[in-house]
Structures are given as structure tokens and as C-alpha cells.
Amino acid sequence: MIEFKNVYKKYENNNNTAINDLNLQIKDGDFFVLVGPSGSGKTTTLKMINRLIKQTSGEITIDGKNIDDFNLQEMRLQMGYVLQNIALFPNMTIEDNITIQPESLKWSKEKRHQVAWDLLEKVGLDPDKYAKRLPNELSGGEQQRVGIVRALASNPKIVLMDEPFSALDPISRNQLQELVLKLHAEMNMTFVFVTHDMNEAVRLGNTIAIMRLGHLEQIGTRDEIVHNPKNNFVNGFFKNQQNDDKKLKLIIDSQDCQQVDRQQADLSEEDNVSDLAGLLKIQDFVLVKSSDERVWKLTTQSLLNYLARDGE
């Protein structure tokens, strides 16, 4: 179990209190999500677990032992860490990227090879095709799968994930959310996941901690958070993000789009307006399939028309 006891983090150069009297417990095997707006302290909290950031006061323990009493290198080798920017080594093959920590732990070459092959298969990347490639030969979603695999390769007890999917398009993000849920169910590890997206938090987290300005506003299961928000901030934070999740059916029904003669589509009418907005950042139009199997072409103008009408 990971436990924070009366933890503070203050930065002397700007007199800013990033974490203010934080008390929480993360149980073994949990999928624990830290969520909140920018500046809430969620990433600072995550980085204090592996001592990338040192608390000003208070105590952080893992299985009852103060993290300051661990050998830093040994402790980090026993933790997985997944970043938003992936940070694969560009001149190393995918297999070599995956096995960095096992090599530091002096695993045999044969064992490292087997672990890389097994994990690539788990995340849907054929090792015969991908193991010897370089990172720049993979898509962003494929690179992030490798980043996840690298964090799991040493069979760590704790895996830290710092907004790992926020830079991805909606389709890749949804696929990887499903993937980490699958991996968590299969592997006896504690996942600590940071996000600013309440919907992602509710989808992934067994336990959710909502933060604001360094304070812990509420902690509980997804049902407790959704149905029994502790205060106006929690209630408003969740509802404001829910407003972004109106279904694309609303745009189709309003005829702010054009029917096209296609079979394949990027999204369905039950996907969210926020997913459409994400895809329109990287492509000129999005194809959406309605429940009657017709396909519609939605553009940025379709989205703007909907938002203007909805704002009224």
C-alpha cells in the first residue's frame, strides 16, 4: 500500500504551495486515478511516489516503509513509469527500448527477449514485425503501446502513468484505455494514473481522487464520485465535462452534415462531440455512421454550427 500522511510541497522561489496537507491511501492492486484541472497538484503527487519530486514535509510510505529509506535507483527499477510524450530512445530498437529496466536488473538476454515478445503480443503488436523496428517507424498510438509495455517489462509492483493518452486522437485514446484496463485485470500490479479528464477517470478508475489547488477534494469509488459528489466543485467539474459528451446523433439529426456513399466510418452516432472535435484537429472531415447504417461527413463547419446553436 502507498500512503501519504500530512504531505506538503512548497516551492520557495515563488512561495507556492503545490500540495497542501495531503492524506490518502492507495491499496495494492488498485487502479487509482488522480484527476483535476491544471495546477491541481495531481502530477506533483504522482512524481512524489518515485521521488522525482521531494515533499517539503509529511511522510510517504510504501508497505509501511518510508520512501526516503529506499535506495533510489533500486526503488525506481521496481516501478513502471509511462509519460505523455512517450520518450522512447530513437536510436534503439523497440525490443531494446522495452528491455531497458530488465537489463539494468541484470536479467539474461534470453529472458529479456522472451518478456519483450510476450508483452508485444499482449498489446497487439506482432513481435516479428515490430521488435526490430525503430520508434520513428511506428504511429503515435503504437509508440504509446510500447511505452506501456516498457513500464511493465520488469514486472513492477507499481505502475505510474502521467496523462499518457492526452496527446492521442480519440480513437487511439479509446483503444489504449481498453488496453490498460485489460492489462490491469491480467497483471497483479497497482496502477496510479493521472488525467485532467473526468470521463477518463470514471472509465478507468476503481478509486478516484479529485484534486484542486493542492487539496484533495474527494476520494471514492466511481459510483460514489458520480452519484454523491462531496461539494460544488466536484459536482461542477464532473457536469462541465459531461456537457462535452453529447452524442454525435445531435449533429446528424440537425442536418449539419452531408450523407456520403461510404461503408467505413471513423465514429458512430453514439460517440461524443468531444471525440469529433479531437479528430477535426488532425483531419479535414470525419465520417460518422448512424444507427441505420448511413454514413455522414462532418466538417469543422458542422461542429461550429452545432456549438453556435447549442450555445443559444
For position 312, what pLDDT does the model report? Answer: 41
What is the average pLDDT across 297-304? 83
CA nearest neighbour of 218 among 58, 37, 36, 31: 36
Distance (Å, whole) CA 194 – CA 205: 10
Would you say residue 1 has pLDDT above 60?
A: yes
14 falls in which pLDDT band (50, 70, 90)?
low
> Is residue 243 scored above 70 in pLDDT?
no
Which residues are 61's β-sheet partners?
A: 3, 66
**pLDDT at 311 (0 to 100):** 44
- How many Å apart are CA 10 and CA 41, to the nearest integer? 11
Task: Give the Cα separation of 208 and 202 in Å (integer).
Answer: 8
DSSP 162-221: ESTTTTS-HHHHHHHHHHHHHHHHHS--EEEEEES-HHHHHHH-SEEEEEETTEEEEEEE
Which residue segments constitute the domains of the chain, with CATH numbers given? 2-240 (3.40.50.300), 248-310 (3.90.1280)
Mean pLDDT, residues 201-211? 92
Average pLDDT score, the chain: 88
- 37-58: pLDDT as tens digits: 888 999 999 999 999 999 999 9
Could you tell me which residue, 161 or 141, shows the higher pLDDT?
161
